[in-house]
Structure 1
């Protein structure tokens, strides 16, 4: 029997869509290579196991025995993201250790633990105690991780905390980044942000390997920079979704069909697809400026307005009376779409995005130009690389965003500059395809990763 058939991989994602989805894609890749996979998942934001029949799921309870889950209380929902991550790590540190010990003691031979980088030191201590090697999945790009790793230097050089007077200043140690591109977020607990980042970097550095959802031809220089500073083995095997897209049939629901039918009626490369991810929030004023900018551009648009995107509202009630009816078939508001399917549709000509890493890769893989409006952390780094390094998008900052500027940018990226940017997009799309081919770098790294985890002695935690 193949050795990997009896060596299980345990995976521990962070319970946010931008982190959970690439972990599930990676789980499919491992499963396709013959490994049984068990997903340990927090009781907060727990997935529906029936949607992922290939894997076993174990729910980790919160540590507030006999009491209410602190992550479902009203005050938790109003926290900033840094405070929420602190609470998340506190809530599940001990119960994760117990759950991991139960899995390891269950009689099956463990291959390794694959944990999200943000769990960091939580999983490091737990894995050492039960004698399982730990591999880390980093859900950001390599360039942004290198910026995170440089936080001590950036603080010493007084780039951090960011000062408004220096926003457009070049960070000479990290070109092409400007001060405003550094991967921070607004928080009431800035020192906690530095602790989270430091734990993430140290936890990655002490692991038995790092898996990246990126590919060599996209981030070659950043990978070289990382290798020069860290000794841990790295495996850039992305784009994950292109490995796993043919491993499971795509199940379409009624909303998917409605969206596809609408796209089918649009001209090729005419639609501006708009989505700002699963975590960002915007003010009602921003929402209205975006809506009027889209309308006035006279370009067909598909906008994912998820419930809760606009602070203080449920969905579209902030729009003026008759706005949606006036647009008619020219624009479409939806609560959710299958983004991979939308970006692959021939009608989509541009993607107005928050520049999350998953969205960035998905757009690159379909050759779709991007309009970049980053909101926090690594999204700022991704946007700078999209615009100035890969030259596959155009910048539209939130600080300068009004309906006239939006209209101008939408017209330029779809009509005037679109062909030049699209040409660069198609070149990167080709490179991604080559990396995934049999002799491509991502495929070679994947073979190396499989051999690497199979080489672990499950009872030897020495690096």
Structure 2
């Protein structure tokens, strides 16, 4: 296995082994961390699945080793929900990860300082520990979301899970400002299955992990980070925002979709802060009804917009495109919509998001509140409209709107065109939007300051001490 390494150095530096979930929002933070560790003198080997494998040519300084997993349909199908994917990936990757890591250890056990494992890969955390390799968990969500996951078993014991309609607006003691409706969940999934996954993650962290690495920064989550360290008696390293630490210009990112760079020229022709950017990320899906309400809400707002309509982003989205619709086709838009917005709307399958958010024409970001998207918006000082779809996005949306005050809800639980139009106009041109923009600018300054901190150096010192 060690002979399969590509583009790696052959020296005898202490080496870190990294393993990520094979999704855009997990791979990119892991690869950024890998590059930063390498820049600080560590050897880096990236173990990865063959499914959605990273491109070694984009990261010539790193070594890449495939684990040669065999994945069931639940892990790869666009029709399976995130919980089903996570459970299937953990089950299918455990043995393959263990074998790949064991092979590396046989090739030079003293060189491997630790394994940095995706924080949702409880099976890999346990396997690293069983092989005698210290494991660090990389959380690609927020510190607040991680605290919610750690509290999962206690929340069930206290009667907050399964979530009950009559409790939705109750505050959750110890997890303020979260209400019951903001707790991590995947709608439509069996409660026992969800609780089992959360308990597995929390249990693996408590039993197998030597430290936590979180892509966040102290200025926005100092209290949450302190609570994590107290609850786990483990160091928690806030090393974000990772994309700022890497500097400019932005490095080439791993992407599962080819970005349409023509949208940047379209933005160039627009006035400053006049365009709403809309994207629900690389995994989130909405039903056809919500998609149509989004579309007509945008039309009714009168605001110029750039909308990412990703293939697979609408459940049953290809239905109107014919039975032979290709998997890479975007879902069909409502009849008459394109004519209605022709002069002020641009629709793409994927966008170079960091460059879009940094563009002067962008006035606000309608987001699913994935943590990478949220951090990128904060780092550019862009206020948000929030439409969380599942899991940690619920937690992040609450912090964006009520803790940091840089976002508005598109609609709580239900997306309706009239509410959408009203929220868009308020964010772009209303008094609430102006106040959010001021607060977003302050957070932007704090994020920039965090990118020059010594948090990453502290992590490297800890790794070398293991």
Residue-by-residue CA offset, 1:384-422 (whole Å, 9 max, x unaligned): 111111101111235332111110000001111221110
Residues 41-440 of structure 1: pairs in structure 2 closer than 5 A: 41-63=48-70, 69-71=71-73, 76-107=77-108, 109-120=111-122, 122-205=123-206, 206-246=208-248, 249=251, 256-314=260-318, 315=329, 318-397=332-411, 399-416=413-430, 417-437=432-452
- Given that 1:136 and 1:204 are in contact with CA atoms closer than 8 Å, whether structure 2 keeps it comes out as yes
Offset from partner CA, 1:120-143 (integer Å, 9 cap, x none): 2x2233223433221110111111
- Equivalent residue of 1:112, what SS? strand
Q: Out of 99-108 and 336-345, give the one that drifted further.
A: 99-108
TM-score, normalised by the number of residues in structure 2: 0.89
Aligned to 1:26: 33
Indicate conservation of the 8 Å contact 2:160/2:180, yes or no: yes
| 8 Å Cα contact 2:228-2:236 kept in structure 1 | no
- Kept in 1, the 8 Å contact 2:259–2:352? The answer is no
- Give 1:77 deviation, angstroms: 4.6
Q: CA shift at 1:145, angstroms?
A: 1.1
CA distance in 2, matches of 1:444, 1:249: 21
Tell whether 2:449 aligns with 1:448: no
Cα distance change, pair 79–129 in 1 and its aligned pair in 2 (3 A): same
C-alpha displacement of 1:73 = 8.8
Q: In the aligned structure 1, how far is the partner of 2:200 from the partner of 2:215?
A: 20
- Taking the aligned partners of 2:126 and 2:314, their CA distance within structure 1 comes to 39
CA contact (8 A) 2:150 2:202 kept: yes
Question: 1:326 Cα shift?
Answer: 3.9
SS in 2 for 1:299: coil
Aligned residues: 443
Structure 1 distance, partners of 2:200, 2:75, is: 26
Work out whether residues 5 and 34 of structure 1, in 8 Å CA contact, stay in contact via their aligned partners in 2: no
CA contact (8 A) 1:350 1:371 kept: yes
Match of 2:342, SS state, is helix
| CA distance in structure 1 between the aligned counterparts of 2:404 and 2:190, rounded to whole angstroms | 34
SS in 2 for 1:399: coil
Q: Matched residue of 1:235: which SS?
A: strand
Q: Structure 1 residues 455, 256: closer, same or farther in 2, change over 3 A?
A: same
User: Following TM superposition, by how much is the alpha carbon of 1:72 offset from its aligned partner in structure 2, in angstroms?
Assistant: 7.5
CA distance in 1, matches of 2:331, 2:195: 38
Instruction: Give CA-to-partner distance per residue, 1:317-343, whole Å, 9 cap, x none.
Output: 532444324422411111111111111
Q: For residues 317 and 384 of structure 1, what CA distance do their matches in structure 2 show?
A: 29
Identify the range of structure 1 (243-252 vs 106-115) with the bigger mean alpha-carbon deviation: 243-252
Q: CA deviation at 1:47?
A: 2.5
CA contact (8 A) 1:393 1:421 kept: yes
Distance 1:46 1:160, change over 3 A: same
Q: Does structure 2 conserve the Cα–Cα contact (< 8 Å) formed by 1:82 and 1:187?
A: no
Q: 1:428 to 1:201 in 2, by over 3 A?
A: same
Superposed CA RMSD in Å reads 2.4
Question: Shift of residue 51 of structure 1?
Answer: 2.8
Specify every segment of 5 or more residues in structure 1 that has no aligned partner in the other structure, as ranges.
Answer: 64-68, 438-442, 457-463
Query: How many Å separate the matches in 1 of 2:331 and 2:258?
Result: 24
Distance 2:342 2:230 in 1: 55
**What TM-score do you get using the length of structure 1 for normalisation?**
0.90
Secondary structure of 2:346's aligned partner: strand
Q: Is the 8 A contact 1:300 1:331 kept in 2?
A: yes
- Distance, in Å, in 2 between the alignment partners of 1:274 and 1:262 is 15
1:245-298: per-residue Cα shift (whole Å, max 9, x none)? 438655999955411100101110111100111111111111111111111111
CA contact (8 A) 2:279 2:367 kept: yes
